Structure 1
Amino acid sequence: MLDRNHTGLLVVDIQGKLARLVEGSTPLIANVSILIKGIQALGLPVIWLEQNPDKLGPTVPELQSLQAGAPVLPKFSFGALGEPQVAATINQSGVTHWLVCGIEAHICVYQTVLGLLEAGLAATLVVDAVSARIAANKELAITKLAARGAELGSVEMCLYELLGDCRDPAFRSILPLVK
């Protein structure tokens, strides 16, 4: 079970034109938005990653308002933990289990999840909040990451697992998001 005391969210590279080119771009962005709002309602940390932002552009406008108060870290390494600033931020967070969403599933998301696992951290790939330009690449990433020890979840599954009980005060904030 996900534990709120040890869980955070990594949002990987949902930027610029590339975010519009992935399979199911519109539902991807909507699901990521729901996930982030739910994580924020639970008071859990969110770290935003942007791959080479000067070339690929910033996070898509639909999600930018959700970045307030959270670190937005540039990266050039496909695997986020290859960046000293990202690795330090993750290490200093105290989080031991990361939910991971973003693009592209088979490149930056894949290598970031592997990096988390290699660092001894737990990772849940939020499968309805990741995508790639080609659907087969997303499926391959999911299969390989599950075989390597990543957990799999969906937006709704993760949020309800973190809630645990409908009497939780955050339930009232999360319910309208998933309806």
Structure 2
Amino acid sequence: MTTLADRPHTALLVIDMQRDVVAAAHRRDEVIARINFLLDRARAEGVPVVWVQHSDADMPIDSEGWRFVPELVRRDDEPLVHKRFGDSFEATELEEVLAERGVGRLVVTGAQTDVCVRSTLHGGLVRGYDVTLVGDAHTAEDRSAHGAPPPEQVIAHTNLYWRFQSAPGRRGGTVNAAEVDFGPAERATGAA
């Protein structure tokens, strides 16, 4: 149902699964295991996998903390998008990477739920994509000392509200990893 013409394909997006980003993340190992499950499925089905990697003053390029977690291995033929803002589309080549592959639907995983994942969900939807969040394959660290809810509540709330997101000609949706359908949005499980 994407509003992007001639973009029938789906891509798996892996956002910021970097050492420093997920060092203290809620259920880190479980989320990594689910992302690996999805990577295996996407690769077996010929679904494009796109990796997003954040950098900033606290996490400079080529620093140890900037690297992806060792449990997740990016293949050389899988695009890597470098970003400096929360939204993976903002000031990056993500749109061009997706257009080259005919992608109109995103299946989103990664970290941090309350920053880069949410920004990218909204960024994709407003740019015309159908955007499915994998509800058990994203995570956040505990920021309750700063007034935020505990991470399990941040994750649950994001899963809840994204389940019902839509806009003219496109939609969001939340599914668990075991329910992901990499097909076009019209047949995807869990779309709103």
TM-score normalized with structure 2 length: 0.75
Aligned mate of 1:148, from 159, 165, 169: 165
1:80 aligned partner: 88
Unaligned runs of 5+ in 2: 2-7, 142-150, 167-171, 184-192
1:22 aligned partner: 25
2:16 aligned partner: 13
Unaligned runs of 5+ in 1: 164-179
Indicate conservation of the 8 Å contact 1:110/1:145, yes or no.
Answer: no
1:175 aligned partner: none
Instruction: Encode CA deviations 1:120-175: one digit per residue, 9 max, x unaligned.
Output: 110110011111112222122223323433111111111xx348xxxxxxxxxxxx
2:145 aligned partner: none
Aligned mate of 1:49, from 49, 52, 56: 52
User: Paired residues, what number?
Assistant: 157
Instruction: Encode CA deviations 1:49-98: one digit per residue, 9 max, x unaligned.
Output: 0111526411111112x433101111011001112312221232211111
Which letter maps to 2:10? T
TM-score normalized with structure 1 length: 0.80
Larger helix share, 1 or 2: 1
- Does 2:156 align with 1:139? yes
Aligned mate of 2:106, from 95, 98, 110: 98
Counterparts of 1:81 and 1:87 in 2: how far apart (Å)? 6
Indicate conservation of the 8 Å contact 1:114/1:145, yes or no.
Answer: no
Aligned mate of 2:67, from 38, 53, 58: 58
Which letter maps to 1:152? T
Indicate conservation of the 8 Å contact 1:127/1:142, yes or no.
Answer: yes
Task: Give the secondary structure class of the aligned counterpart of 1:40.
Answer: helix
Task: Give the secondary structure class of the aligned counterpart of 1:110.
Answer: helix
2:186 aligned partner: none
Q: 1:20 to 1:84 in 2, by over 3 A?
A: closer
Counterparts of 2:23 and 2:75 in 1: how far apart (Å)? 19
Q: 1:162 to 1:73 in 2, by over 3 A?
A: closer
Q: 1:22 to 1:31 in 2, by over 3 A?
A: same
2:115 aligned partner: 107
Task: Give the secondary structure class of the aligned counterpart of 1:68.
Answer: coil
Aligned-pair distance for 1:7? Answer: 1.1
Counterparts of 1:129 and 1:87 in 2: how far apart (Å)? 23
